[in-house]
Structure 1
Amino acid sequence: MSKVPEWFLEQLRQRVDIVEVISDYVQLRRSGRSFSGLCPFHNERSPSFSVSADRQMYHCFGCGAGGTVIGFIMDIESVTFVEAVILLAQRAGLQLPDGVGDAEAARPNTKHQRYREAHELTAKLYSYILMNTDAGVQALTYLEKRGISRKTMVEFRLGLAPKAGDTVVTFLRKRGFQDAELVACGLAVEMGTRTLDRFRGRLMIPILDKKGEVIAFGGRTMEQDVKPKYLNSPENDLFHKSRLLYNYHIARKTIRRDRTALLLEGYMDVISLSQAGIQQGVATLGTSLTEEQAKLLKSDCDKVIISYDGDEAGRKAAVRAIDILVEAGLEPLILRIPDGLDPDEYVQTHGGESFKRLLGRQTLSVVQFLLDDLRQRANLVSSVGRTEYVRQALQLLAERATPVEQEYELRNLSQEFNLSVETLKEELRTFAKQNIRRSQHRDRALSSERIQPLEKAVSKASVGLLQAVLFDKEACMYVMDKGVTELAEPVQTALLARLYAWRLSNPDASSAAFVDELDDESLGKVASSLFFGEIPELTHDLLDDYVRTVELHHLEAEYRDLLRQWIDTEATGDETQSREIKLQVERLQNQIATLKRPRGS
């Protein structure tokens, strides 16, 4: 964003009508003072997508997408901030400021940009060698035998690294790149006194970032006896494989629309399925799924179907991925592919339509998959092995299964191992007994205190404080003077901190400018929602009420935590610690009572 002057961005926001722009992509209908329609970023039947002409902002109350007209064009067209500004300026007939839109000025000669340019040139060279030279014939034949069409090769920018040792290095030297740069960005290696190409004699698969720019490569050997089968670019300042997913820049639109991603293991899986019309496939880059990759998926979907290779290694990788996805707040499902095939092999053998039917018929829940995994590793021939399998299965059901899943799987175990359902249920209760008793004890204690949660009130107060800081400079200073640093939810607290810093640096800037400056998608979703609904008159009395409600919410939460500690401590018989916690509980009770008193009493 720093490439575009703020005065021009403000002019652009005022000149371009967000309703007109979005109407090119979404059928909008007037709904009160705003417009509504079906969200283009996720699949829905009832309109939850709202556009405000007054505030020049959009927000989806279904998936949370939102922002200014610039942000909309970035998301819908998968372009950069500067590219979105250029498109809108052309639409509005505005002349771009000097330097904006010029390739050299808009993309400064930084180290990262040099790396990107080197990779882009190399990708074009690899593609040319594959598609237009005699050296590429063998690789073309190899790809065609695997069912990959020329059209797909072009779409995924596939190429060939020649066997000659310094083709890429020589090519890039002539274009002004130094050997040290090529080594640093992973395109070359030093061998004694020589600098040689890192990739030689391999089918090349460009790895693109979220903006669609080449930043690394995966190189696949076409010979049986060459190891490793895949060779990836090394990590560097530009390329961090734990933070990227292959094909994410293309698959993202479909993932957002369906709220479901298909997680694959290899590049060729993604390419084959895409050619077969399955567009939501992404792959990890030669490593197990990471927390960063799971968070990336969470920003665009709710479910992830894991479709790893059907061999033992693929099953183990799926087990590891499940907990990471659950921790990120995603619902994992697992696709079971018959005969131990990987997705690419299955599509080659049975076709894309058959794979689509698999997605509908062979997708397992986490519990079903983990039970199946237990079975694969169990020794069901011996009585000891069967007993151990049943015990592990019951433990799994106690930890992970819903009551419906428990009932269904208990009946299956009963039939298979000739055990009564009641016996199995009794064993299941044994695994869960300690947790159940503790949970029931706490619930009774908390219920006896009749603690009334403040969810609705504190949510309204937190939103009100964020609106005050975002829309009113004087109200912002008042809230800051009150020392408010924490709101109801962590994402709101993070947004408040960003708003404080922004307001202090930009006291007179427009609220839309703040939304455009946000580089965190989760914060952007919350920020765009603040523009919708009525914004009351931000008097000091109202702000004081908001502050008091938020403070009361945090004291109530602290009180509940201390109450749980007190219950646990009493159960252990530690009277000294119990008395100390009791004093803290009483102190909090007094503070809560004081805050609940009517103002002025």
Structure 2
Amino acid sequence: MSKVPDGFLEELRQKVDIVEIISDHVQLRRSGRSFTGLCPFHNERTPSFSVSPERQMYHCFGCGAGGTVFRFVMDTEAVSFTEAVVMLAERVGMQLPAGVNELDAAQQPAMAKHQRFREAHELTAKLYNYILMNTDAGVQALNYLENRGISRKTMVDFRLGFAPKTNNTVVSFLRKRGFQDEELVACGLAVEMGTGLVDRFRGRVMVPICDKKGQVIAFGGRTMDAKVKPKYLNSPEYDLFHKSRLLYNYHDARKLIRQGRVALLLEGYMDVISLAQAGVLHGVATLGTSLTEEQAALLKTDCDKTIVAYDGDAAGRKATVRAIDILLGAGIEPLILQIPDGQDPDEYVQANGGEAFGRLMQRRTLSVVQFLLDDMRQQANLTSSVGRTAFVRDALQLLAKRATPVEQEYEMRNLSQEFNLSVETLKEELRGFAKLNKAREKHQVRNLSTERIQPLERAFMRASTSILQAVLFDSEAAMYVMEKGVTELAEPVQTALLARLYAWRLTEPAAPPSAFVDELDDESLIHLASSLFFGETPEFTKDLLDDFIRAVERHHLEITHKSLLRQWIEAEASGDIRHATEIKLQVDQIQNQIATLRPPRETMKGR
């Protein structure tokens, strides 16, 4: 981020009318002290987008988008922070301070290096595309792509190219433009071979890989010869490129994903390209690896559901099972597209077209339970009575563990018809599995009933949110909370935001809360921070803060208590009486500590 004096930012923030700026994009209506409207970042029928002129903030309670007026301009105009500042300053007639576009001296070397890497990749992408579209060397690759149904317009849109088989086409090209050998090696465009330097990619169709801003930072190279391995070769990881943190085509698909709150997760580059050519534009793909937690977190900022459309072969189904757990862990609802005849999305859309693929997503998208049942069926031995019985029992166990009551009812009727079993028999068996699951859970959390935990969970969440508000809006309250040693809240994102707030309060004790939001660069933190500005905030007295802190402490003690109980049960079951006795003493101590903490005050319960 370019240097912009804090004083100038605050003056600009006060002069700019956030309601006026946002009204250029959203029809707003007054609602009390705020304004509401339909969110511009996702499709909705009921307004969940709020703007506070008093606090100069906006927040969508539907998709989580939020921030200051600078963030709004950045997201709607696709510009950097400094560019947003310049645009707003020009709008209100403020003169920019000297040096606003100068980089911080400490960042200059790294920023200059990264800019060189981007320039090298940009030039290389243009070179590859030119070779593909305009030279004899690219004719074979051009024919290959056209035979796969890729039009020349799509090749240009996705900037596809061809890396010739010669050893130093890219190296010579970039050397002539002033790039040093060590730069080409560092960013993965060249490799050292013997005493010389050669192109990393040779004889491959080239697919540029872009970052979230749409800048080329890497390549995927696809061989046209089935005998050449690997089929796909990606750029090596370096400063700007980490495969586990990026999704192919995310920069182009993101706006559409955010609007519909649904992403289409594909397995490869060609799936994305073929579907986009057919009009299905919200597809993204992993970069030659299984879906990662970082990629799921990236999707979570823009969608609530993800349709997984991997290949229909065994490897694709296995990868789908892994993706389901990762998406669920990120708080995203997975849906699985079942493509007929074991085809991949590219093959299906080439044969049937984009409209047929759209209808397929409507008709053959499965829930997690439906997909897992189908996967179990494909692996089961249904030709023998033993295999059929085993499958039914496994299916009922799955239903007891994962399915909603409606799903249970529906799938049991299907099982009844398929295996000629009465629904009553299946229900009785299901109840047995459900009881077994409950017994296991009850055994694990011995003496800690669900009724006791849930109210505490709710109090813990309320207390965590209130502590964040206190630290954000009240510098004295922030110091008090820090002195009490609160470091962990209900959710990881809350804990991460608390750490950033502590650091900010220590260095900027008098800064306005909106200035803190402008310092954040992680979208999940921005979304959480912006939500804190909406709703009433009480006077944070020491008594009230103590209530919040006690709720947090009590929750952490309960977690420790549960863990010790499990260890105690395991020690008793193994016959290790001495160890069980030691753990029991710790359990008693924790229980005594919990008893000393009064329940949260009624003032907090009502919040």
Q: Is the 8 A contact 1:479 1:543 kept in 2?
A: no
Q: For 1:353-364, what aligned pairs fall within 5 Å after superposition?
A: 353-364=355-366
Amino acid at match of 2:44: E
Paired letter, 2:24: D
**Whole-angstrom CA distance in 2 between matches of 1:102 and 1:478:** 38
Q: Give the aligned residue type for 1:299.
A: T
1:201 corresponds in structure 2 to: 203
Note the C-alpha offset of 1:250.
1.5
Preserved contact between residue 269 and residue 344 of structure 1 (Cα < 8 Å): yes
* Letter paired with 1:36: T
- Alpha-carbon distance between aligned partners in 2 of 1:241 and 1:277, rounded to the nearest angstrom: 26
Map of 2:409 onto structure 1? 407
CA contact (8 A) 2:412 2:426 kept: yes
Q: Is residue 269 of structure 2 the alignment partner of residue 267 of structure 1? A: yes
Q: Which residue of 2 aligns with 1:41?
A: 41
Please name the residue that 2:50 is paired with: 50
> What is the deviation of 1:283?
0.1
Q: How does 1:422-433 map to 2 (within 5 A)?
A: 422-433=424-435
Return the offset for 1:463. Answer: 3.8
Does the CA-based 8 Å contact 1:246-1:283 persist in structure 2? yes
Q: 1:257 to 1:452 in 2, by over 3 A?
A: closer
Shift of 1:505: 1.2
> Hey, what does 1:315 align to over in structure 2?
317
Residues 1:132 and 1:85: Cα distance change in structure 2 (over 3 Å) = farther
2:81 is the counterpart of 1:76:
no
Query: Residue 222 of structure 1 corresponds to which residue in structure 2?
Result: 224
Match of 2:132 in 1: 130
Give the letter for the 2:468 counterpart.
Answer: L
Q: CA deviation at 1:158?
A: 1.7
Match runs of 1:231-246 below 5 Å: 231-246=233-248
Q: Show CA shifts across 1:562-593 (max 9, x none).
A: 37855995895868458525632552354124
5 Å matches for 1:500-515?
Answer: 500-515=502-517
The 1-side partners of 2:407 and 2:501 are apart by 45
In 2, distance between residues paired with 1:567 and 1:190? 55
Looking at structure 2, the residues matched to 18 and 594 of structure 1 have their Cα atoms a distance apart, in angstroms, of 41
Write the distance in 2 (CA, Å) between the matches of 1:491 and 1:204.
38
Distance 2:127 2:258 in 1: 33
1:329-348 equivalence runs, <5 A: 329-348=331-350
Q: How does 1:438-517 map to 2 (within 5 A)?
A: 438-439=440-441, 446=448, 453=455, 459-517=461-519
Runs of 5+ consecutive residues of structure 2 not aligned to the other structure:
none
Question: Do structure 1's residue 544 and structure 2's residue 536 form an aligned pair?
Answer: no
| CA deviation after TM superposition for structure 1 residue 452, in Å | 8.3
Contact persistence 1:73–1:84 (CA under 8 A): yes
Q: What one-letter code is carried by the residue in structure 1 that aligns with 2:285?
A: A
**Farther off after superposition, 469-478 or 296-305:** 469-478
The alpha-carbon deviation at position 278 of structure 1 amounts to 1.7
Sort the Cα spacing of 1:213 and 1:400 in 2 relative to 1 into closer, same or farther, 3 A. Answer: same
Cα distance change on mapping 1:256 and 1:555 into 2, 3 Å: same
CA contact (8 A) 2:475 2:505 kept: yes
Residue 81 of structure 2 aligns to which amino acid in structure 1? F
Q: Cα–Cα, structure 1 residues 421 and 554, in superposed 2: closer, same or farther, change >3 Å?
A: same
Which structure 1 segments of 5+ residues have no match? none
Contact residue 556 and residue 592 of structure 1 kept, 8 A: no
Q: Which moved more, 1:490-499 or 1:185-194?
A: 490-499
Are residues 449 and 14 of structure 1, via their aligned partners in 2, closer, same or farther at CA, if it must alter by over 3 Å? closer
Instruction: Classify 1:553/1:3 alpha carbon distance in 2 versus 1 (closer, same or farther; 3 Å).
Output: closer
Per mean C-alpha deviation after superposition, the further-off stretch among 312-321 and 487-496 is 487-496
> Aligned pair 1:389/2:378, yes or no?
no
Q: Shift in Å at residue 95 of structure 1?
A: 4.5
Bigger mean CA deviation after superposition, 362-371 or 88-97? 88-97
Identity %: 71
Deviations 1:54-75 (A, max 9, x none): 2211111122211011111222
Matched to 2:382, the amino acid is: L
Shift of residue 243, structure 1, vs aligned partner: 1.1
Alignment of 1:182-193 (within 5 A): 182-193=184-195
Matched residue, 1:176? 178
Q: Secondary structure at the match of 1:195?
A: strand
**How far apart in 1 are the matches of 2:213 and 2:77?**
10
Call closer, same or farther: CA 1:37–1:496 in 2, change over 3 Å. same
2:588 corresponds in structure 1 to 583
Residue 507 of structure 2 aligns with an amino acid whose one-letter code is S
Residues 1:500 and 1:13: Cα distance change in structure 2 (over 3 Å): same
- C-alpha deviations, 1:69-123, integer Å up to 9, x for none? 1111222333333343344344444444455558999976533332222111211
Which region of structure 1 is more displaced relative to structure 2, 328-337 or 379-388?
379-388
For the structure 1 residues 348 and 593, does the alpha-carbon distance in structure 2 shift closer, same or farther, using more than 3 Å as the test? Answer: closer
Deviation at 1:186, TM superposition (A): 1.0
Secondary structure of 2:597's counterpart equals helix
What CA distance in whole angstroms lies between the structure 2 residues aligned with 1:31 and 1:498? 32
Mark the CA change 1:582 to 1:334 in structure 2 (over 3 Å): closer, same or farther.
closer
1:23 maps onto 2:23 in alignment: yes
The aligned counterpart of 2:212 is 210
CA distance in structure 2 between the aligned counterparts of 1:201 and 1:59, rounded to whole angstroms: 49
* Alignment equivalent of 1:530, drawn from 529, 532, 553: 532
> Counterpart amino acid of 2:547?
R
Q: TM-score, normalised by structure 2?
A: 0.89
CA shift, 1:43, in A, is 2.0
Change (3 A) 1:582 1:492: closer
CA deviation map 1:194-244 (0-9, x unaligned)? 211111222211101112111100112234443332221112222110111
Q: How many residues align?
A: 595
**Residues 510 and 450 of structure 1: is their aligned pair in 2 closer, same or farther, counting only changes over 3 Å?**
closer
Q: 2:281 aligns with which of 279, 282, 292?
A: 279
**More deviation in 326-335 or 461-470?**
461-470
Contact 2:468 2:498 in 1 (8 A): yes
CA contact (8 A) 2:467 2:548 kept: no
Q: State how far apart, in whole Å, the 2-side matches of 1:317 and 1:582 are.
A: 42
- State the shift of 1:329 in Å: 1.9
Structure 1 distance, partners of 2:529, 2:314, is 45
Measure, in 1, the Cα distance between the counterparts of 2:333 and 2:361. 15
